[in-house]
Copies of this chain bind each other. A is one copy, B any other.
Amino acid sequence: MAKPPLSIPDSELDVLKVLWDRGQATVREVLETLKEAGHVGNKEGKPWSYATVATLLDRLETKKVVVSDRADQAFTYRPVVSVGDIQQRRVESLVDKLYQGEPGLLVLHLLKSHPIDPGQALEVRALLEEMSAESADKSRKSSTHPKPGHSA
């Protein structure tokens, strides 16, 4: 059966982001957060109505992306898929559809057409060296030094 993960449209993604940001929230909290727009990459002035947010949350729940919990007197929603999961899906899809399934092509495209942060470039280089060293010299010492990948 392999149920293909349902798509998560952009509007739903917007509210999902809020949940990721604060871990959990009620409809109203999401609404307020979106209006005050005090979080990552969000367009201000979303004139959303309470009902709209409720609908989105509802659809996300039917898609098994969030779960609702009866706390207090209002439902509290919490995400059950991480941002990483969604990124995975989208990236995978993009690579499959426009880069012959080869992530390397996407990487090349990104580096060529988008200016990347110098710091990140450094990280990328380090990562690549590590990888090539690992594959080219597999009989090498496997030094798996932990990377400081967590920003903030």
Contacts and interface: CB of A to CB of B under 8 A. Distances in A.
Interface in A52-100: 83, 86-88, 90-91, 94-100
Contact of A125 (B88, B96, B115, B128): B128
Chain A contact residues: helix, strand, loop or mixed: helix
Given A41-B97, A103-B114, A125 B125 contact: yes
Interface string A37-59: 00011000000000000000000
Chain A contact residues (Cβ within 8 angstroms of B): what range?
A: 35 or more
> How many copies of this chain does one complex carry?
2
Contact of A41 (B96, B103, B108, B112): B96
A99 B116 contact: no
A88 B106 CA distance: 10
